[in-house]
């Protein structure tokens, strides 16, 4: 992993200082995870977000959505102006931060031990040189900061404290702490060669205090587990580091026991700073689960893909009419949305929401996403079972029965239901894959009946979902506007990437949705979603555009846009939901599975097209997806962005804007040949046990 740029917490942002604590910029957080839950660690050494024992449990540290009094655990040198660099320990989620002061240097290693059946978080401080004074500030706030726990000192196996509130208890051990005004603090020195371990363990309050964790053993096992998992990645192409880290992020967001993948580790990080587009993403969307299955198959994680398929099938088992667009980690159905007054929101962006009201929406595309993913699983060699294919047949019957029902669309709009074109295309895709299962894979089903409905849906889309004056497919029937989700049409084989109607749609999307060279989902000022206007470019949409460019004869533009997009990854490779292109700041929940999933698709598209053009295997990863040396790092926050205005997309190389991170590419890969233009339109061929019961 590339070494991070130096950071000075005292100068990081005007609303973060050594005395008070407002949350850092979203891109300044790093993730640590044990595949049951995850913590966000700020560049200033403060853990500002942690829910225990699951991703969707109530927060223990919630300063991310408020300030230090909403819960945090800060560990940093006492010295003002201490400078840090950070990285992951290889292909793991063991975070290593090197702090430099005038008096010495220390290294802080932070991780959540994997596979020990416990809920531990470890911070190991090792003296590198000289002597460094460290400060610790601890504020437990359970239940989304609704409960300040009762705390008592421990004096047995190691100095520390135990905090209890209702069903939850946390024990912290390693150094002595003093109490003051509902917080605990401590200072200690670390000399060269000295190691200080501070551990935190969650447990149900009715159970005995767990034993002190074995830090050395836990560190070794955690490193070995992540390293072995990453070693199985297959990617012979550019953007190797980003591909590996994106796959690791997806694994870190996946619950080890159930196989459910949360859309993000956080709730209510705003899509617009100061706005109200704040949603809880700590649940499992069928769409994300389906796309994850596809990504795992593409990168040779067949057994993991089988586990994801099993989660999908369990979640949607039952009456197809009861299928939801999202579920809890174990398949829970009740995700009722409520607002939490105890947390003021990220930099006062309110409300903070727990649960997600979109769970009750009808979204016509979801079954199509599932059927496309299960088709790819079948073609990759995952055999259907006595349960899996009958369930898919029932889903297709449900699709046929609800084909005339308007929906809320892929973006979960809270305005009126409509016939969203992308959703209609995914109905077509669901039927198309079911037909293929019968005719190509030998399964049983009424393929002729499905074909009739599929063709009727296509005729309907072409008549109602395409605007001849706009020369583009439209966001919804009769709208006259476009939506970035229309880029999915070619991805699922509805049309070729260079079908004239698809190219016209791409031109309209570039014309209407480009903002500083990146794509918006749609124009919020049209009020299609029933919310006040305003949001930033959505990263997944721009990654979709990379894929579209790569497969429609615009490989050079695909590479340039991809280089810019991966440059927005933070210093440890994470992406949020959206980007403010003028500042480079991350926006929305983080790390966002959808962003990393579409990054993988975009990287795979470029790799595949380079291979097709060369007529040989793609270049080795170290040649085209090489790690940059530290001095090559470019900070997107400091770059001046080229502005386009609302009317145009990239028309030349310079229009794609400055690229935050350069990548080495063979220039011949980007050369477009006349023979690659004007292809015949048509369908493109698709190539341990843990005590979580208290929350489950």
Give me the CATH number covering residue 116.
2.70.98.10
The pLDDT value recorded for residue 156 is: 76
Give yes or no for a contact between 415 and 528, defined as CB atoms under 8 angstroms apart: yes
The pLDDT value recorded for residue 526 is: 62
Domain of residue 149, residue span: 9-210+221-228
> CA-CA distance, 227 to 111, in Å (whole number)?
14
Residue 661 pLDDT > 80 = no
In the three-class reduction of DSSP (H, G, I as helix; E, B as strand; rest coil), residue 418 is classed as strand
Let me know if 677 is exposed, middle or buried by CB neighbors in 10 A (0-12, 13-18, 19+).
exposed
Structural domain contains residue 160: yes
User: What tokens does 163 get?
Assistant: 């905090």
The pLDDT value recorded for residue 629 is: 30
Identify whether residues 205 and 240 lie together within a single domain.
no
Structural domain contains residue 482: yes
Identify whether residues 413 and 291 lie together within a single domain.
yes
Residues 6+ apart with CB under 8 A from 200: 73, 120, 121, 122, 170, 171, 172
Kind and range of the H or E run holding 31: strand 29-33
Per-residue pLDDT reduced to its tens digit, 325-359: 999 999 999 999 999 999 999 999 999 999 999 99
Average pLDDT over residues 206-227: 97
Let me know if 194 is exposed, middle or buried by CB neighbors in 10 A (0-12, 13-18, 19+).
middle
Side-chain-side CA neighbours of residue 211 (13 Å): 5
| Furthest C-alpha separation in the chain | 78
Residue 681 pLDDT > 60 = no
User: Could you tell me what percent of the chain has a pLDDT over 70?
Assistant: 84
Structural domain contains residue 50: yes
The pLDDT value recorded for residue 530 is: 55
Per-residue pLDDT reduced to its tens digit, 518-572: 999 998 766 665 556 567 999 999 999 999 999 999 999 999 999 999 999 999 9
User: What tokens does 383 get?
Assistant: 């055999």
Q: To which residue do tokens 């001046």 refer?
A: 640
Q: Which residue has the higher pLDDT, 230 or 668?
A: 230
Q: Which residue has the higher pLDDT, 124 or 275?
A: 124
CATH code for the domain of 498: 1.50.10.10
Residue 625 pLDDT > 60 = no
User: What tokens does 337 get?
Assistant: 């949305």
Structural domain contains residue 681: no
The pLDDT value recorded for residue 277 is: 84
Residues 6+ apart with CB under 8 A from 247: 230, 233, 295, 296, 299, 301, 596, 600
Structural domain contains residue 388: yes
Confidence of residue 445 (pLDDT cuts 50, 70, 90): very high
> CA-CA distance, 368 to 325, in Å (whole number)?
12
Q: Domain tally for the chain? A: 2
Per-residue pLDDT reduced to its tens digit, 127-149: 999 999 999 999 999 999 999 99
> CA-CA distance, 160 to 174, in Å (whole number)?
6
Domain ends where: 228, 259, 287?
228
Identify whether residues 100 and 239 lie together within a single domain.
no
Identify whether residues 336 and 241 lie together within a single domain.
yes
Residue 600 pLDDT > 80 = yes
Confidence of residue 272 (pLDDT cuts 50, 70, 90): confident
Confidence of residue 155 (pLDDT cuts 50, 70, 90): confident
The pLDDT value recorded for residue 531 is: 58
> CA-CA distance, 336 to 366, in Å (whole number)?
20
Q: Which of 57, 529, 46, 488 shows the shortest CA–CA distance to 262?
A: 57
Kind and range of the H or E run holding 328: none
Identify whether residues 147 and 287 lie together within a single domain.
no
Identify whether residues 322 and 446 lie together within a single domain.
yes
Structural domain contains residue 507: yes
Average pLDDT over residues 117-124: 96
Identify whether residues 275 and 337 lie together within a single domain.
yes
Per-residue pLDDT reduced to its tens digit, 370-402: 999 999 999 999 999 889 999 999 999 999 999
Average pLDDT over residues 53-64: 98
Structural domain contains residue 149: yes
Structural domain contains residue 691: no
Per-residue pLDDT reduced to its tens digit, 463-483: 999 999 999 999 999 999 999
Identify whether residues 493 and 388 lie together within a single domain.
yes
Identify whether residues 468 and 591 lie together within a single domain.
yes
Alpha carbon distance, N-terminus to C-terminus of the chain: 35
Identify whether residues 444 and 549 lie together within a single domain.
yes
Identify whether residues 142 and 203 lie together within a single domain.
yes
Average pLDDT over residues 164-175: 96
Q: Which of 185, 330, 338, 305 shows the shortest CA–CA distance to 234?
A: 305
The pLDDT value recorded for residue 534 is: 67
Identify whether residues 200 and 237 lie together within a single domain.
no
User: What tokens does 427 get?
Assistant: 């109905």
> CA-CA distance, 672 to 674, in Å (whole number)?
7
* Average pLDDT, rounded, for the chain: 86
Per-residue pLDDT reduced to its tens digit, 665-679: 443 343 333 233 333
Average pLDDT over residues 72-85: 97
The pLDDT value recorded for residue 641 is: 33
Model-level pTM? 0.86
Query: How far is CA 407 from each of CA 9, 288, 421, rounded to the nearest angstrom?
Result: 46, 19, 10
Average pLDDT over residues 281-302: 92
């Amino acid at each position: 992993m590339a070494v991070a740029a130096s950071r000075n917490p005292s100068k990081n942002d005007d609303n973060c200082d050594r005395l008070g604590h407002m949350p850092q910029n979203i891109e300044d957080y790093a993730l640590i995870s044990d595949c049951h839950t995850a913590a966000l660690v700020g560049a200033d050494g403060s853990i500002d977000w942690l829910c225990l024992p699951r991703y969707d449990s109530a927060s223990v540290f919630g300063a991310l959505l408020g300030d230090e009094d909403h819960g945090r655990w800060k560990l940093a040198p006492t010295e003002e102006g201490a400078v840090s660099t950070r990285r992951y320990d290889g292909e793991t989620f063991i975070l290593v931060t090197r702090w430099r002061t005038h008096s010495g240097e220390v290294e802080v290693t932070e991780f959540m031990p994997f596979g020990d059946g416990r809920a531990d978080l470890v911070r190991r401080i090792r003296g590198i040189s000289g002597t460094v004074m460290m400060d610790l500030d601890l504020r437990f706030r359970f239940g989304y900061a609704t409960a300040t726990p009762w705390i008592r000192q421990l004096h047995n196996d190691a100095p520390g404290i135990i905090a209890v509130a209702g069903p939850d208890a946390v024990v912290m051990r390693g150094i002595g702490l003093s109490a003051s005004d509902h917080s605990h603090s401590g200072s200690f020195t670390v000399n060269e060669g000295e190691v200080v371990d501070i551990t935190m363990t969650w447990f149900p309050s009715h159970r005995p205090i767990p034993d002190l964790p074995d830090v050395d053993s836990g560190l070794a096992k955690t490193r070995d587990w992540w390293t072995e998992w990453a070693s199985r990645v297959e990617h012979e192409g550019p953007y190797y580091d980003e591909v590996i880290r994106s796959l690791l992020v997806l694994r870190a967001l996946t619950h080890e026991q159930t196989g459910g993948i949360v859309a993000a580790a956080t709730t209510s990080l705003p899509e617009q700073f100061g706005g109200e587009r704040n949603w809880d993403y700590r649940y499992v969307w069928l769409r994300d689960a389906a796309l994850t299955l596809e990504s795992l198959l593409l990168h040779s994680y067949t057994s993991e893909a089988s586990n994801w398929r099993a989660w999908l099938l369990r979640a949607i088992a039952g009456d197809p009419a009861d299928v939801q667009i999202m579920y809890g980690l174990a398949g829970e159905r009740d995700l009722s949305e409520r607002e939490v007054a105890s947390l003021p929101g990220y930099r006062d962006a309110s409300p903070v929401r727990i649960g997600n009201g979109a769970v009750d929406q009808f979204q016509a595309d979801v079954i199509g996403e599932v059927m496309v993913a299960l088709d790819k699983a079948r073609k990759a060699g995952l055999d259907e079972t006595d349960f899996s294919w009958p369930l898919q047949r029932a889903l297709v019957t449900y699709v046929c029965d609800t084909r005339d029902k308007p929906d809320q669309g892929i973006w979960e709009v809270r305005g009126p239901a409509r016939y969203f074109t992308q959703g209609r295309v995914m109905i077509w895709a669901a039927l198309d894959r079911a037909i293929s299962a019968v005719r190509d894979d030998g399964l049983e089903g009424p393929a002729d009946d499905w074909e009739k409905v599929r063709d009727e849906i296509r005729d309907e889309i072409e008549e109602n979902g395409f605007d001849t004056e706009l020369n583009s497919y439209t966001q919804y029937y009769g709208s006259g506007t476009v939506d970035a989700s229309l880029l999915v049409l070619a991805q699922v084989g509805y049309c070729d990437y260079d079908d004239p109607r698809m190219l016209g749609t791409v031109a309209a999307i570039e014309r209407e949705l480009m903002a500083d060279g990146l794509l918006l989902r749609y124009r919020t000022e049209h009020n299609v979603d029933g919310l006040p206007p305003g949001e930033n470019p959505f990263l997944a949409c721009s990654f979709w555009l990379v894929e579209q460019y790569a497969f429609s004869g615009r490989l050079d533009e695909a590479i340039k846009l991809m280089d810019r997009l991966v440059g927005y990854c933070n210093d440890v490779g994470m992406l949020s939901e959206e980007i403010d292109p003028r500042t480079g700041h991350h926006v929305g929940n983080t790390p966002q599975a959808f962003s990393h999933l579409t990054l993988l698709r975009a990287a795979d598209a470029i790799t595949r097209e380079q291979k097709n053009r060369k007529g040989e295997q793609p270049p080795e990863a170290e040649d085209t997806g090489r790690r940059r040396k530290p001095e090559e790092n470019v900070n997107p926050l400091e770059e001046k962005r080229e502005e386009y205005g609302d009317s145009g997309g990239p028309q030349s190389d310079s229009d794609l804007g400055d690229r935050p991170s350069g990548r080495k590419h063979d220039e011949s890969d980007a050369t477009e040949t006349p023979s690659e233009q004007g292809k015949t339109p048509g369908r493109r061929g698709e190539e341990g046990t843990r005590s979580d019961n208290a929350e489950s």
